[in-house]
Structure 1
Amino acid sequence: MGAACPCLFNTVHPDSVEIHLPPTEVDYPAPVPNTTERYLTKKIQWFEDYDPNIGSDDVDNDVDEREIAKADIDHHARTVPKSELNSFDQLIKYLDKPIKGRQTRDEMMVRIILVWLSNQEVEQFVTGEGTDKTPLGFLSLLGQRRSTYSTFFTVLCRVADVQCAQIHGVCKAGDYQPGDTNVDNLTCLWNAVYIQDSWRIIHPYWVCRSVFGKRSSGWIKLEEDGKAIGQRTKAAAGVIKNAFKEYYIMPDTSQFIYRCHPDNKEWQLLRSPISRETFLKQAYLLPPFWVMEMKLLSKNACCLHSSGKTLTLTFETSKETANAINLDYEFLLKEGSAQTEDENEMLKPESMPRLVTKIRNASEWNFDIQFPIEGIYKIVIFDRTEGCRLIPFNPGKLGFGPGPESDRAGLLLPSHRNGIITIDQNKPTNLRFLLASDTYKSLNVKTELVNFDLKDSKSSVERVIEKDKKELKIITNIVQNGDYGLRISTGTGGDLEELTVVCNYLITTSNKLSREKANQRVARRKLPSSIESGTVIQIQENIIRCIKDNILENDSDIENAQRKLDVLQIRKDIHDAFLRNHLGTIEKTINNVKTSLYERIFRKAIQELDNRAKELRSS
């Protein structure tokens, strides 16, 4: 029971850990409940719109007062050069650059370390020498599963002079199912950092990594949001991916105790610690439950026993969020917990009555559950509210949208410069790149379409290299509503496994990610289609419409359309130069193309014009 999340969390068994650290160091403060409750007394001053050209007239102004943008801090952490990973002091010195001397430096350092750590693809370091002597060696240990994120985080914090304790306990994660009491496979490590005179919980692994698409077998799905299903669940191992989750950076300890229970009760950091038995018996509540400000009004237990045929679960949301929340559910029967003939009947959805009634009363939700046969049931309650969505995958330092990496790979003049593409369900969408003339013949391209829970097997993506046009065409067809990640990898070798990701897109069927008005969205969405196949007049008309609808002229989509006009004009100039066969015209055209932004696209044409010019000079 609880608010479900499509990503799960692995636990770590201590026997697999090679590097051991003392849980605390000498002179560390004792673990006591937070004196400042959930929030820090001194807030970090993040400035989202930092302008470096605006400074203070006070030359003696303390370094703490300089504005700092959260995005800049995260970018700094994600772009650490590999050359800085040869020593811990070297890495921390680099991470410390933008925050050194600030009053809230320790809080910022914790975040910077976690952002950096979450950006590391540890699988790429598997073949390296595993050692605890350097950050590079430690990444190899992580890739080889010979150490833990908690241990690496502890080392980094202590080198950075941030007091960091390592906590051993059990977590409801991995293969955990509500009602499990065997904790042998639930052992886990996490941390606490001492910030502003209080210990604060950090779960580095859950901040950095998630298992997406994992499903358990052994259940019969009876119903999903009012629809009879009658299907046995199939096990899926899932895929471990990087996924930065801020919730596990200094979470409320009264919430965290629903996920993790330390061996030492003092590290619960609660005024009223609970026993291991209570921890295992209480409801299985995940972060979305707390984020949506929900309360469990019925019995706080993960296992409920009903002597009758019905049971009611009651939740309450805050009045502020009540109208924005849309709760759904899955209702399942454990295989083998009922008579075989009864279970077989449950696999016939056409003969099954509706078993769960979802009743909404202002800010209160009631789930009235009926049990047609005796057995063990499970209900998973989750939120389908648009806007509370997980990104399909972590794009790393590339982010979403074309940039320098795609340009260097020879993918030029993209039809979609915005990293977020809003599309219509079941309507194929084309993305195009012009290809550099010196690479298009040997270029290999791989495209991957990823949705966050890996369940959609019907949506598709295909790519076509049109060598006559020197264009890469990528066709996506999204069958189900939702958010999808598109990865584009390129290389010039024959091995598709050796290709490098050069561009990511976030493709969505929802307009929630757009802050524009409807008329602006309509005008903007006409631009890519006109860029792809429209005439010069059509592109010009769509640009004018966008500007008329108050989309700025320096908008990336408008600028991209203007670039397409430039390319079309250059193609026309080249064509005309060949037709006129006039030396002066050809030389002028060659000079114009060479000095333009599009020289890489037209290198072959430039060479052909050069040859024609030589022929004219010698004739």
Structure 2
Amino acid sequence: MYSFWNKVNLYGKWRLIHPRYVLRSFKGHLQPSGLTENDSSVTDDPDLQQTQYVSTFNEFWFLSDPALFIHNCYPDNPENQMLPAVKRIRNPRQFMKLPYLTPVFHEFNLKMTSEETCIVDTIDGLAKISFKANRKIAKSMMCDFSLSLDERLGTDASPFDFDSANLVFSSRKKNQFMFEVRCPVEANYLISISGGDIESKSKKVLIRSKIVCKERISDVRTLPIDAGQIGWGFGPVATKAGLSKPKIREPKLFIQPKSARGGRKTTIKMRFSIDKEAVKRKEYQAEICADGKPIDRSKDYVKTNIKSGELQVDCSVPSDGEYALVIKAKDRKEPEFNPICNYLLTTLENEEKVCDEYFDSSDGTSDIDEEISQLQNTIQALTAERDRLKQEMLGQ
């Protein structure tokens, strides 16, 4: 598809502007809850309030960074990429293979850490897409995804009767986000990853990719639960519920079943600090789940305790397989517990492989990042206390 944009010279430097995308407008009806965008196939309803047109200004397309602009627009003249020669896209074929990253991806200042391509080939039936955020963004970011079957490959015509929500291990470790897709049939798949702040009502698309699986995963198994937007690993929902400083950061943990012998690890001990206010008003519990529900006698395999401002969760599993450790919380006045954090417990992979699946400190997941984050929180708290004392002194 052809598109046109402008190159303008400001103070002796050439910059990029895409007028069509900078200013956009949409039609909608003014409702008590706000403006509702119309579906193009729906005619105006006279019973609704007056139709209005609203224009928006998208800063991403105004004086854009050429390194980001090239992900969306490929000029006929290579010079107009405005990139150093070594970083230029050489031909349309290379351009078409670039990852589809939306302006929202760049607005959040996210960085790809997996292969930068829009077509992801599986290895042993697994595909992985990952990116990282800075510490401030990661603290409040939640992600979601949709996975669909696009086109069957090969001669396998077996029915696709899998819940796609249980085929994607959507996990986080500190400020690293990973989506591991299990492909049960040889086919092309489409995945769309969205994200946004924990307080936002809807998530916006960040990445779209095509997954090509020419050899399906040998041991097809779905995840024990649909983790939803909470995903797997410690995240902002747990923080909002009063937890912090998890002793274990990995979202996927290797464990031996209780029946195992030989001194192998059969119990995992999770520890979290609890905010002082949360200790007073929150209750916590945990359960072991499989097949979308708590296992029989779940309480025999998980124990929770609060001691010295710390939530202690000791868990084990009854037999070989994959299980979800679901940590829940509620206000003392509320009737029901709600999930705030999920961990995948597996007996099916060796511990070394599980630990190697995440990236090192170059991707922002080192312990020094956690120490910096804790220092920033301490400085913020001390600054607030200083300001409070200052106000008290001025009021006397």
Q: Normalising by the residue count of structure 2, what TM-score does the alignment of the two structures yield?
A: 0.41
Q: Which has the higher strand share?
A: 2
Decide which structure has greater helix share: 1
State the TM-score, normalizing by the size of structure 1.
Answer: 0.27
Structure exhibiting the larger radius of gyration computed from Cα positions: 1
